């Protein structure tokens, strides 16, 4: 009881650290007896996944508004609040919020670029997939906590609250925003007369439009020339 009280007090005093710990949460059945301290749903055995964008924080190059840059530092994005956190002293250090950042690039992973842009009238942290002549193609990431709906019994296996990762694509030009569907109909509308070539390119390169890294390549193929 004392250990549980201490754990709960720590979660209350330092919620960001708790959330960061969840970024590596992968609940094992043998650990389920410890999950009562932070169980979200009485029907579940704990939490799988994370409210952060990445399950495992990648190293990013972060440019600050004052000109300073972090060349390679572990970071993550708390999607619900559009907040960026970094760790400066290893995986056991407390996560620190970054308030005045401008861009984040993940080298070695397709140079994925993140930036705050206005979408639906409010600033959001978005992944920039392609931009040209003032037009931007972006990915909006979100996480939704899905809870089990059935009460557990002696015949069912473990049930977990699970964070589902959803991705939507948008085309932004000035004040106009259009959602792009990653299915065949959406790509056909996007590519126009180039659709047959784009379809062959996707097939030959084994690309998945639902993956933002692959969608970035597809957009470059359509609009890059």
pLDDT above 70 for 17: no
Helix (H) or strand (E) holding 79: none
Q: Residue 35: CA atoms inside 13 Å, Cβ hemisphere, count? A: 24
Of the candidates 159, 135, 206, the residue with the CA atom closest to the CA atom of residue 39 = 159
Q: Quick one: DSSP state of residue 195?
A: H
Are 23 and 165 in contact by the 8 Å Cβ rule? The answer is no
- Read off the pLDDT of residues 19-48 as tens digits, 9 standing for 90 and up: 444 444 443 343 333 333 333 444 556 788
Condensed to tens digits (0 to 9), the pLDDT of residues 68-86 reads 998 899 999 999 999 999 9
DSSP 150: S
For 2-35, give one letter per residue: b (16+ CB within 10 A) or e: eeeeeeeeeeeeeeeeebbebbeeebeeeeeeeb
Q: How many CB atoms lie within 10 A of CB 68?
A: 10
Q: The pTM is what?
A: 0.77
Confidence of residue 9 (pLDDT cuts 50, 70, 90): very low
Element (H, E) at 168: strand 161-173
What is the rounded end-to-end Cα distance, in angstroms, of the chain? 65
- What is the average pLDDT score of the chain? 81
Q: What is the pLDDT of residues 91-107, one digit of tens each?
A: 777 889 998 999 999 99
- pLDDT tens, position by position, 92-145: 778 899 989 999 999 987 899 999 999 988 999 999 999 999 899 999 999 999
């Amino acid at each position: 009881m004392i250990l549980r009280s201490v754990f709960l007090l720590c979660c209350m005093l330092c919620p960001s650290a708790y959330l960061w710990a969840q970024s590596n949460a992968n609940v094992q059945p043998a650990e389920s007896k410890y999950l009562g301290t932070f169980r979200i749903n009485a029907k579940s055995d704990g939490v799988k996944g994370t409210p952060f964008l990445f399950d495992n924080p990648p190293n990013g190059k972060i440019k600050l508004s004052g000109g300073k840059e972090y060349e390679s530092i572990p970071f993550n994005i708390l999607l619900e609040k559009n907040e960026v956190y970094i760790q400066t002293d290893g995986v056991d250090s407390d996560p620190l919020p970054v308030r005045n950042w401008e861009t984040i690039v993940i080298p070695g992973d397709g140079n994925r670029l993140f930036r705050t842009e206005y979408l639906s009238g409010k600033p959001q942290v978005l992944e920039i997939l392609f931009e040209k002549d003032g037009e931007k193609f972006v990915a909006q990431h979100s996480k939704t906590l899905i809870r089990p709906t059935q009460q557990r019994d002696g015949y069912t296996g473990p049930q977990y609250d699970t964070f589902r990762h959803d991705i939507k694509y948008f085309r932004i030009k000035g004040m106009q925003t259009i959602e792009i569907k990653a299915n065949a109909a959406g790509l056909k509308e996007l590519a126009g007369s180039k659709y047959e070539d784009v379809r062959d390119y996707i097939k030959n390169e084994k690309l998945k439009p639902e993956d933002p890294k692959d969608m970035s390549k597809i957009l470059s193929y359509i609009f890059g020339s």
